[in-house]
Amino acid sequence: MGLQVQLVEVSTQGDRDRATALATLGGQGVFTREVQAAVLDGRADIAVHSLKDLPTERTPGLVLAGVPNRAPVFDAVIMPAGFGKQSTSGSELLASFPHGATIGTGSLRRKAQLLHARPDLNIIENRGNVDTRLRKLDEGQFKAIILAEAGLRRLGLESRISGLLQPPVVFPAVGQGAIGIECRDDDGEVRAVLGSITDANTMTAVTAERTLLAELRAGCHAPLGVMSTMTGDGMLTLAAVVLSADGQERIETSAKGRLDAAQLIGHTVANTLRCLGANRLLCK
């Protein structure tokens, strides 16, 4: 396209505070507010987010205009350096951990699902950039840590992946593996450029997932997991799971519909989860 791009680095609240648990750090927007402000005040033309961190409530003056092709969506188990041969099954690794093993993750969603499968595990907050988390692991602070597969692959660290956690054991986060790009809603030129790099299937899937999240008013850090699956006949299946923070209670449901009914599918799954008691679990 012949575009010149200049990077504007922004430090967010979530980047600066690496000690406080995400669930108590400040709710939605801890990784996005400062980046959005840079676009609104004219320092930047676009805001690039990990879509799983972007709140579903629209920020006045901005529009989600670009969602490129999605990366892998699963969570990865990372063992200490020198662990040896990689496993293809994160669930097998999870089952092999000794009683009371210490696992590092900064995600309440991951923690709840891990505790549902292995209530004996000792789940410890693990904040910081990826290098910091890996260093803590290799120093022996954890038996294993859990990170998003997409982030590891984007950083060229796929060799550290020991196994992948997949449904029904662990469901990914809403928007996991996807990049969301916002711009000013009155910037037609930039909106057109971002539209040209948007992947239709990814946009459909994350629309269903984010509709579900918005309907439940759960927030980006809630113990809610989702999985979107598309089939060749133009159908989308959205499965979702909600757990109590301690993993003791778990409800799951799914809905299927046409690709052009992504919002309706998200609404349907949210309504069913509410009927099954999701609000009670999310408010615990």
Mean pLDDT of the chain: 91
Question: Of 128, 135, 125, whose CA–CA distance to 160 is shortest?
Answer: 135
How does residue 68 score in pLDDT terms, banded at 50, 70 and 90? very high
Q: What is the pLDDT of residues 111-162, one digit of tens each?
A: 999 999 999 999 999 988 899 999 999 999 999 999 999 999 999 999 999 9
pLDDT for residue 87? 58
Q: Which residues are CB-contacts of 116 (< 8 A; sequence separation ≥ 6)?
A: 243, 247, 248, 250
Measured in whole angstroms, how far is the alpha carbon of residue 210 from the centre of its chain? 11
* Distance between CA atoms of residues 94 and 279, nearest Å: 29
Q: Hey, which residues are catalytic here?
A: 53
Name the pLDDT band for 89 (thresholds 50, 70, 90).
confident
**Cα 101 from Cα 117, distance rounded (Å):** 13
Query: Mean pLDDT over residues 90-99, rounded?
Result: 92
Write down the pTM of the prediction: 0.90
Token representation of residue 163 = 């196994």
> Taking residues 228-241, what's their average pLDDT?
95
The phi, psi pair for 162, rounded to 5°, reads -95, -25
pLDDT band at 17 (very low <50, low <70, confident <90, very high): low
Q: DSSP letter string over the chain?
A: ------------HHHH--SS-HHHH-STTTTTHHHHHHHHTTS-SEEEEEGGGS-SSPPTTEEEEE--------EEEEPPTT--SPPS-HHHHHHHSPTT-EEE-S-HHHHHHHHHH-TT-EEE---S-HHHHHHHHHTTS-SEEEEEHHHHHHTT-GGG--EEE-TTT-PPPTTTT-EEEEEETT-HHHHHHHHHT--HHHHHHHHHHHHHHHHHT--TTSSEEEEEEEETTTEEEEEEEEE-TTSS-EEEEEEEEEGGGHHHHHHHHHHHHHHTTHHHHHT-
Amino acid in position 276: L
Model confidence at 45: pLDDT above 60: yes
pLDDT for residue 18 is more than 70? no
User: With 80 as the cut, is the pLDDT of residue 25 above it?
Assistant: no
What are the pLDDT digits (tens) for 202-213? 999 999 999 999
- Cα separation, 229 vs 205, in Å, equals 8
What does DSSP say about strands 144-148 and 46-50: parallel, antiparallel, or unpaired?
unpaired
Whole-number pLDDT of residue 5: 87
Strands 102-104 and 122-124: parallel
What distance in Å separates the CA atoms of residue 97 and residue 99, rounded to the nearest whole number? 7
DSSP β-bridge partners for residue 48: 181
Give me the mean pLDDT over the 240-264 stretch: 97
pLDDT > 90: percent of the chain: 77
Reported as a pLDDT band with limits 50, 70 and 90, residue 28 is low
In the predicted model, what is the mean pLDDT of residues 247-261? 97
Q: What are 163-219's pLDDT values in tens digits?
A: 999 999 999 999 999 999 999 999 999 999 999 999 999 999 999 999 999 999 876
Question: Nearest-5° angle of CA 26, CA 30, CA 35?
Answer: 150
